[in-house]
Amino acid sequence: MANLLWLQGGACSGNTMSFLNAEEPSACDLVTDFGINVLWHPSLGLELGDNLKKLLNALTSGQMPLDIFVFEGTVVNAPNGTGEWNRFAGRAMRDWVSDLCKVANFVVAVGDCATWGGIPATAPNPSESQGLQFLKRDQGGFLGKDYKSKAGLPVINIPGCPAHPDWITQIVVAVATGRAGDLTLDEFQRPKTFFTSFTQTGCTRNMHFAYKVSATEFGQRKGCLFYDLGCRGPMTHSPCNRVLWNRQSSKTRAGMPCMGCTEPEFPFFDLAPGTVFKTQTVMGVPKDMPSGVDKTGYIKLTAAAKAASPRWAEEDIFVV
């Protein structure tokens, strides 16, 4: 039986909504099949007021073991580093986080806000938000770069806006069932099993990417979303086209460009109208190339791809 506590800082509850829709395994399976004891969760917890405080104090004092601490949302430090803008159970949430991370065997950050600060930490960052162990690309964050939980692991980051529900439950199960040793993390502390390949891997529009045929509108069934709609699939690490959403789709399959939400820089660019859903170019050439491709190679590839492009690449193919 592993004790799990889930708290929420500066967040929209998106990751909670995602988690509650998990299917492989589901949130219920965590309890019934994997013996996880969900001590408290913002949408599921029964305790209120003093009873909740009692529970939290029992955990921070070591009276009750905390096996897995899941945190959703940013650590809010405003105003002036006090964290008073985000109070919970009688004190600043940041103080609870600090104390709970000292006693937890494993700490799991769920969603972009908890991992890198996400949208709340975008300049000018009025809530002085931080991720648990990163602020954007910089390691450190609220807990500092040297932080390790009692089991000896840094914060396990499961990014995404929101994180896919099954990424969350599968990592929680791995940790709860003693398989944490099998987890390998990348440089941003993301489990490699999910975050080694790209969103483009498994994209049904890859043939259009190969032949440089572009979709020019949202929802269009033909064409690649990279060139004209700002899709970040070729440079974003995520399995969105392998571990499908609702078991059957993904943004790119629905005609919506990947926004790169599993990368620390999300949200990209200046969020001014007309900048987000557009591949930024310099003199007509993409500013951010697909990972591992240089400008000269890309231009040569394009010329060859256009020359070899088959007629069907220009037709309206229904892709799901």
Partner 1 sequence: MNNEQQHALLRKMAQLMKSGLETQTEPFPETEKEFAAILDELRKLDANDVEAKMVISGFVDHPYGPDRQRCMECMYYLVHREWCDLPELAVPVDADWWCRLWRI
Q: Is 227 in the site for partner 1 (CB under 8 A)?
A: yes
Q: Does 206 bind partner 1 (CB under 8 A)?
A: no
Nearest-angstrom CA–CA distance, 199 and 224: 13
CB 23 within 8 A of CB 247: yes
| Spatial CA neighbour of 199 closest among 165, 229, 238, 226 | 238
Among the residue ranges 8-16, 140-148, 156-164, 277-285, the one whose residues contact partner 1 (CB under 8 A): 277-285
* Contact pick of 122, 228, 244, 256 for partner 1 (by CB under 8 A): 228
Helix (H, G, I), strand (E, B) or coil at 114: helix
Tell me the residue type at 79. Answer: P
Task: Give the residue, chosen from 280, 291, 293, 320, that forms a contact with partner 1 under the rule CB under 8 A.
Answer: 280
Residue 283 interacts with partner 1 (CB under 8 A)? yes
User: Is 298 an interacting residue with respect to partner 1 (CB under 8 A)?
Assistant: yes
- Listed ranges 24-32, 47-55, 192-200, 282-290: which one lies at the site for partner 1 (CB under 8 A): 282-290
Residue 222 CB, nearest approach to partner 1 (Å): 10
Q: Give the total residue count for the chain.
A: 320
The interface mask with partner 1, positions 234-273, x = CB under 8 A, is ----------------------------------------
Minimum CB separation of residue 49 from partner 1 in Å reads 52
Closer CB to partner 1, 271 or 299, in the complex: 299
Question: Judged by CB under 8 A, does residue 299 bind partner 1?
Answer: yes
Orientation of helix 49-60 relative to helix 93-103, angle to 10°: 40
Least gap, CB of 267 to partner 1 (angstroms): 16
**Strand, coil or helix: 45:** coil
Size of the residue set binding partner 1 (CB under 8 A): 26
Structure tokens at 274: 């007309």
How many other CB atoms are there within 10 angstroms of residue 182's CB atom?
Answer: 9
Residue from 281, 291, 293, 320 in contact with partner 1 (CB under 8 A): 281
Q: What's the token pair of residue 174?
A: 């791995």
> What secondary structure letter does DSSP report for 268?
P
Nearer to partner 1, 27 or 258 (CB): 258
Q: State the number of CA atoms in the 13 A half-sphere of 4 facing the CB.
A: 27
Q: Could you say whether residue 216 binds partner 1 (CB under 8 A)?
A: yes
| DSSP per-residue string spanning 183-213 | --B-TTS-BHHHHSSBTTTT-TTHHHHHTT-
- Position 309 contacts partner 1 (CB under 8 A): yes
203 contacts 241 by C-beta, under 8 angstroms: yes
**Is residue 293 involved in binding partner 1 (CB under 8 A)?**
no
- Among the listed residues 229, 239, 256, 226, the one whose alpha carbon sits nearest the alpha carbon of residue 320: 256
Considering only the stretches 106-114, 155-163, 256-264, 302-310, report the one whose residues sit in contact with partner 1 under the rule CB under 8 A: 302-310
Which of 182, 311, 316, 318 binds partner 1 (CB under 8 A)? It is: 311
According to the binding rule CB under 8 A, does residue 278 interact with partner 1?
yes
CA distance linking residue 275 with residue 286, whole number of Å: 13
1 binds partner 1 (CB under 8 A): no
C-alpha distance from residue 162 to each of 6, 16, 41, 63, 260 (Å): 16, 9, 17, 33, 12
Q: Name the site residues for partner 1 (rule: CB under 8 A).
A: 212-214, 216-217, 227-228, 274-275, 278, 280-286, 298-299, 302-303, 306-307, 309, 311, 314
